[in-house]
Amino acid sequence: MNPIRVLIVDDSAVVREMITSVLAADPKIRVIGAAPDPIFAMERMSREWPDVIVLDIEMPRMDGLTFLRKIMSERPTPVVMCSTLSQKGAEVSLRALSYGAIACVGKPKDVRSRFREDAAGDLITQVKAAALARFRGPPRPIEPDKRPQPAVAAPGLRSLVPAVPVAKKVGRPTNQGHIIAIGASTGGTQALEAVLTRLPENAPPIVIVQHMPEYFTAAFAKRLDGLCAIEVLEARNGEEIVSGRALIAPGGKQMSVRRSGLGFAVEVMNGPYINRHRPSVDFLFRSVAANVGAKAVGIIMTGMGNDGAAGLLKIHQAGGITIGQNEISCVVYGMPKEAFRMGAVQSEVDLSRIPDEIQSFIR
């Protein structure tokens, strides 16, 4: 198999050098060039087209989002956005995902420092995932509108329309009923939107790990909360797990489920990296298996690697229900495939069917 051809586009010479060094160390990746802005990048691409583009956002002459939209309209190509770890960087990166980018990774806070081992591993993983992605190209463009919009059910579509804010109704803590635990990685932001926007306000309580950098999960949760009938929050330590609420593990933290009075709450902590991830799907799923048991529903969705497979097996062994997203609806059929291979998945379903599966547990 030929190495993955990667083009790096970033106006910082230091960042270009760091990313080139990280990617070139992997024998399955070949860096074909590093351009300081999209104009230079287009000249380089006229001679050799890359399999994957690693793209900065803020650059001279043409910004990354403009270049991304140009690429997607002319010759759709997998793009991994490399953004600063900040609120602004996170918000712009979410826009990039809606324009067709496959994934986003964070730059080191101090560009003079080297990538940490886990951050370097994440960059390599995302580039490989982008190269393997079931790439659908850019979504249908939707202009902002002040009216409420119907939920997006089809996999691969990304709604750009902010919903009209509504008062959310959440349930009371209880030790009855099911708790839904969802794990996702590459392609998961779009998949989670497709699922959560179709749930009613009385949906079962949901806890989520989506592999995302620090700062990104807060912006992601805020955006989903504006689109969904349920309440969507970036989890805080001690937050109650109740019906009508989805809690997303913060980037850079581990999240687990524990008993709290009559019900359950999340515990958010630093914790070790697991499968090179923090948050880790396995970390969440193992706690759900141990504390929720037969009332747990584990759902593993699109993503690269094996994070979550062992934890989903624990949920299955504890008497819980386990679901895997099927191959055809995954952007990357990695995590569900590994879980299925281990015997952890009781049923595989299309992304469009997952909301119905969740609603079946409403009491």
* pLDDT recorded at residue 260: 92
Asked if domains 4-132 and 179-359 share a fold, the reply is yes
Confidence band of 233 (pLDDT split at 50, 70, 90): very high
Range with lowest mean pLDDT among 58-62, 125-129, 246-250, 282-286: 58-62
Q: Quick one: pLDDT band at residue 162, thresholds 50, 70, 90?
A: very low
> Poorest-confidence range of 24-28, 152-156, 180-184?
152-156
Question: Domain 179-359 is of which CATH architecture?
Answer: 3-Layer(aba) Sandwich (3.40)
277 is known as an active-site residue: no
Catalytic residue, candidates 37, 122, 211, 256: 211
pLDDT of res. 111: 54
**Which residues, other chains included, contact 16 with Cβ-Cβ below 8 Å and sequence gap of 6+?**
8, 10, 34, 36
Handedness of CA 83, 85, 88, 94 (dihedral sign): positive
Distance between CA atoms of 353 and 205, rounded to whole angstroms?
A: 18
Which burial class, exposed, middle or buried, applies to 116 when counting CB atoms under 10 A from its CB (0-12, 13-18, 19+)?
Answer: exposed
Is the Cα dihedral 161, 164, 165, 167 positive or negative? negative
Catalytic residue, candidates 282, 307, 316, 329: 307
CB contact burial 6-31 (16+ within 10 A = b; e otherwise): bbbbbbeeebbebbbebbeebeebeb
**Catalytic residue (one of 185, 243, 256, 329):** 185
The answer on pLDDT for 211 being more than 60 is: yes
CATH superfamily of 4-132: Response regulator (3.40.50.2300)
201: Cα separation from own chain's centroid: 23
Name the pLDDT band for 107 (thresholds 50, 70, 90).
confident
Instruction: Give the C-alpha separation, 327 to 321, whole Å.
Output: 19
For the stretch 112-130, pLDDT in tens is: 555 566 678 888 999 999 9
Average pLDDT over every residue of 240-260: 96
Task: Look at residue 10 in the predicted model and tell me its pLDDT.
Answer: 95
Instruction: Assess whether 211 carries a catalytic annotation.
Output: yes
Q: For residue 152, is pLDDT > 50?
A: no
Reported confidence tier of residue 175, pLDDT bands at 50, 70, 90: low
Lowest mean pLDDT among 105-119, 173-187, 245-259, 269-283: 105-119
Give the helix ranges, DSSP H, for the chain.
Answer: 13-24, 38-45, 64-74, 87-99, 117-132, 188-196, 216-227, 281-291, 309-317, 335-341, 354-359
For 71-128, the three-class secondary structure string (H helix, E strand, C coil) is HHHHCCCCEEEEECCCHHHHHHHHHHHHHCCCEEEECCCCCCCCCCHHHHHHHHHHHH
User: Strand, helix or coil at 195?
Assistant: helix
For the stretch 291-308, pLDDT in tens is 999 999 999 999 999 999
Q: How confident is the model at residue 163 (pLDDT cuts 50, 70, 90)?
A: very low
Query: Which residue in this structure is represented by tokens 């609120």?
Result: 87
Q: What residue type is 137 in one-letter code?
A: G
pLDDT exceeds cutoff 60 at 158: no
Higher pLDDT residue, 310 or 108?
A: 310
Query: Residue 317 — very low, low, confident or very high, per pLDDT cuts 50/70/90?
Result: very high
- pLDDT over 50 at 157, yes or no: no
Domain ranges within the chain, ordered by starting residue = 4-132, 179-359
Q: Which residues contact 187 (CB under 8 A, 6 or more apart)?
A: 102, 103, 133, 301, 302, 303, 330, 331, 332
Determine whether 178 is an active site residue: no
pLDDT value at 154 more than 70: no
pLDDT, residue 177, reads 87
| Axis crossing angle, helix 87-99 with helix 216-227, rounded to the nearest 10 | 60
